[in-house]
Amino acid sequence: MRRRLFGLATIVALLTAFGLCEPASASTAAKVYRGRATVVVETYDYCSGARRIADRSRFSTTAELHVVPRLSGDGRTERNPFGWQFYVGNVGQPGSFQFASAFLVGPRRYLAEYWNTGRSSTGQFNGRLVQSHSNIGAAWNQFMANKPLVDCRPNLGVMLFPFAVAAGARINGVVTNGAARFTLIGATEESLYAFRIDFNA
């Protein structure tokens, strides 16, 4: 049974707050697709000693895809065909998500690449999250949820916590000049949440 009160995701939030981690600025976005996302989240716990499903929720919320210039840092350039960020819900609030193809970390602007994505000439868009970078405190791809201060004892209090999305998440759909439609499926690193996001803009 897990009793950690804090983890790498907390460190990520602090690094971001103090400007040590930096995504591409939204102001540099070449195009923004605003639409709706249908989200399904399955919640798991280990309160019985083994992993079990504790809850399943489904909701609809606002979402935005930002297509941005590819990031460059420490002498390297992002390998994706374009940089992108995807925001679901009211970012920073429970139930929200944030994703980015790459991120600049620290004063030396280390390029942390997360997603390996591709787009065909007809707009087919797909990819995979190949590395979370939580090992260096730079897990920008996150799901926000309330975490009990003591596992399995929410009556003792909860804290808003950024859960890092685990490598292996996948995105598949279409992104054209006029529209974006895709599905993003993944889970968090501690296997406490699994999710599916269907986006249409």
Q: Identify the pLDDT of residue 49.
A: 87
Q: Alpha-carbon distance 24 to 145, whole Å?
A: 24
User: Residue 157 has which token pair?
Assistant: 């209090």
Q: Identify the pLDDT of residue 23.
A: 56
What does the radius of gyration of the chain's CA atoms come to, in whole angstroms?
17
pLDDT tens-digit map of 166-201: 999 999 999 999 999 999 999 999 999 999 999 999
Whether the predicted pLDDT of 142 surpasses 80: yes
Q: Alpha-carbon distance 198 to 181, whole Å?
A: 8
Query: Average of pLDDT values for 102-115?
Result: 93
Q: 190: which DSSP letter?
A: T
Cα dihedral across residues 72, 118, 83, 109: positive or negative:
negative
Q: Alpha-carbon distance 64 to 111, whole Å?
A: 23
Q: Identify the pLDDT of residue 48.
A: 87
Q: Alpha-carbon distance 113 to 64, whole Å?
A: 20
pLDDT tens-digit map of 2-52: 333 334 344 444 444 333 445 555 445 469 999 999 999 999 999 988 999
Q: Alpha-carbon distance 149 to 196, whole Å?
A: 26
Evaluate if pTM is beyond 0.95.
no
**Burial level of 129, CB count in 10 A (0-12/13-18/19+)?**
buried
pLDDT tens-digit map of 88-107: 999 999 999 999 999 999 88
- Residue 3's identity, in one-letter code, is R
CA nearest to 63, candidates 164, 193, 180, 156: 180
Q: Alpha-carbon distance 190 to 200, whole Å?
A: 29
